[in-house]
């Protein structure tokens, strides 16, 4: 069993990273492997709306010079996904947004590659904009048939300088519990995979209203 975590912060050891490390401890103790993919500190172009991923159906974005195509494969092979971002102007940090648009579009265009994976989102914020960013991140999971895990509060941890978030005791508890719930659902899904088969893939219907 494996969880891939996407760190959308350009600060390698920042609060988003620390939030993921808090979750890692819980997942590892539940025998789940954990890998962080650094995204926020990379150069990642936004989606060009070329629709090549839909035309080619080769599980690839046509921009093939960054981490997106590797991430599509890694997430497709994993059992769980965490997408984590710092809050920038009450929203997802820019590079992370570029990454998510392209990665999830490729996955959707190729038969919902991430469907039925266990997933959650995490936000690091100094003060304000945590909930809007949390909502924005969740839109990617909600449209991808993912099994979304929750905690006893919204998955937001507070801090400004690198590492400060570890002092947010409520945020730390939220994320530990989130990771425990995530591990439980992943292990339960694995244990029942032969006895309770998942629903079959349904091709998405489009109704655009404009003709």
Ligand X SMILES: Cc1cc2nc3c(=O)[nH]c(=O)nc-3n(C[C@H](O)[C@H](O)[C@H](O)COP(=O)(O)O)c2cc1C
**Residues at the contact surface with ligand X, assessed by CB under 6 A:** 9, 11, 14-16, 86-90, 124-129, 159-160, 162
CB of 172 to ligand X, least distance (A): 14
Whose CB is nearest to ligand X?
14
Tokens representing 120 are 């959650």
Taking the least distance from each CB to ligand X, the nearer of 113 and 179 is 179
Taking the least distance from each CB to ligand X, the nearer of 75 and 87 is 87
CA distance 73 to 4: 11
CB within 8 A of 135, min separation 6: which ones?
none
CB of 4 to ligand X, least distance (A): 18
CB 157 within 8 A of CB 58: no
Taking the least distance from each CB to ligand X, the nearer of 44 and 107 is 44
CB within 8 A of 105, min separation 6: which ones?
47, 53, 61
Taking the least distance from each CB to ligand X, the nearer of 15 and 138 is 15
CB of 2 to ligand X, least distance (A): 23
CA distance 117 to 141: 10
- With 0-12 / 13-18 / 19 or more C-beta atoms within 10 angstroms meaning exposed / middle / buried, residue 2 is middle
CB of 163 to ligand X, least distance (A): 8
CB of 145 to ligand X, least distance (A): 28
Taking the least distance from each CB to ligand X, the nearer of 7 and 151 is 7
CA distance 47 to 50: 8
Taking the least distance from each CB to ligand X, the nearer of 89 and 184 is 89
SS3 content of the chain, % helix, strand, coil (to 5): 40, 15, 40
What Rg do the C-alpha atoms of the chain give, in angstroms? 17
CB 46 within 8 A of CB 98: yes
CB of 86 to ligand X, least distance (A): 3
């Amino acid at each position: 069993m494996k969880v891939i975590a996407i760190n959308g912060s350009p600060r390698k050891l920042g609060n988003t990273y620390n939030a993921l490390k808090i979750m890692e401890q819980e997942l590892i103790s539940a025998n789940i492997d954990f890998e962080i993919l650094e995204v926020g500190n990379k150069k990642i172009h936004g989606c060009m709306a070329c629709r090549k991923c839909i035309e080619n159906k080769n599980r690839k974005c046509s921009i093939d010079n960054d981490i997106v195509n590797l991430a599509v494969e890694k997430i497709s092979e994993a059992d769980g996904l965490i997408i984590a971002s710092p809050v920038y102007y009450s929203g997802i940090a820019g590079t992370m947004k570029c990454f998510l648009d392209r990665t999830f579009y490729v996955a959707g265009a190729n038969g919902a590659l991430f469907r039925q994976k266990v997933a959650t989102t995490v936000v690091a914020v100094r003060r304000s904009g945590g909930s809007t960013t949390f909502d924005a991140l969740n839109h990617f999971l909600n449209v991808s048939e993912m099994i979304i895990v929750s905690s006893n509060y919204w998955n937001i941890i507070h801090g400004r300088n690198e590492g400060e978030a570890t002092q947010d005791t409520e945020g730390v508890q939220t994320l530990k519990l989130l990771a425990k719930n995530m591990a439980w659902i992943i292990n339960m899904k694995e244990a029942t995979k032969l006895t309770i088969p998942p629903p079959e893939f349904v091709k998405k219907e489009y109704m655009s209203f404009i003709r």
